[in-house]
Structure 1
């Protein structure tokens, strides 16, 4: 008989995988890029301006000040573009994408593997994605 795992054992293994992911090249690059961004005075000033303008935009929107809102949104776009034009910011965003992609890949792999294991353990058909009980109880198999 196969070993049955507890929720605690599975969470412990998930933490182990999380530790592995946290020690990948993608995450290391992400951390270095973030540190460089935080050390860059110009980027920090632009981010502070952006946050301030975003608060103003919310206020203008709440009070229906459309013209003022449009001006603020243009300023926000300009500063956002200045931030995005900095190479380290582009690299940071790329590394963020890669880390998220890795997390999604791990998540999908786990989900698909669990489904396949359930299908196999019930004597089902993996190609059709059907568990053994479904296969045994459907009419197409009884023809």
Structure 2
């Protein structure tokens, strides 16, 4: 007899997995990179300028001042490029990608394993990805 789990059981396991993920090298690197960005005066000044320009852009857009808006948008793009070119920011974005990849890998692993468990529990065909009811109801020799 297989054990039946409740949603609460699953949420508790998810919390355990979250704690494990939060204590990986990828997340440690992400936290360090974020702290370095927050401590970097140059980055903070560029971000403050960016926010100010973005507010101006919203105001110009609201007032219908297209020429001024285009000028501000150019300045915004230039500052965004300056920020993106900083090695510290590139490291941060890389670490963000690494953490997201780890989360995606965990999500895919759970999804694939649930699917496989269902196929196996119904005496299905893992290679074809079909549950037992699909296998029983397919005609012999058909390739679906």
TM-score band, normalised by shorter chain? over 0.9
How big is each residue's C-alpha offset from its partner over 1:6-31, in whole Å with a ceiling of 9 and x where there is no partner? 11111101110000110111100110
Provide the residue aligned with 1:31 in structure 2: 31
CA distance in 2, matches of 1:135, 1:58: 59
Partner of residue 21, structure 2: 21
TM-score between the two structures when normalised by the length of structure 1: 0.93
Q: CA deviation at 1:129?
A: 1.1
In the other structure, the counterpart of 1:43 is 43
Matched with 1:69 is 69
Counterparts of 2:16 and 2:136, CA distance in 1:
38
Q: TM-score, normalised by structure 2?
A: 0.93
In 2, the alpha carbon distance for the partners of 1:23 and 1:123 equals: 38
Map residues 1-143 of structure 1 onto 2, 5 A cutoff: 1-140=1-140
Runs of 4+ off more than 4 Å:
none
> 1:45–1:134: structure 2 CA closer, same or farther, 3 Å change rule?
same
How many pairs align? 142
CA distance in 2, matches of 1:3, 1:71: 64
Unaligned residue ranges in structure 1 (runs of 5+): none
1:59 aligns to what SS in structure 2?
Answer: helix
C-alpha deviations, 1:25-76, integer Å up to 9, x for none? 1100110111111111111111111111112222222333221111111101
The separation in 1 between residues aligned to 2:56 and 2:130, in whole angstroms, is 55
Q: Over aligned residue pairs, what C-alpha RMSD do you find? A: 1.4
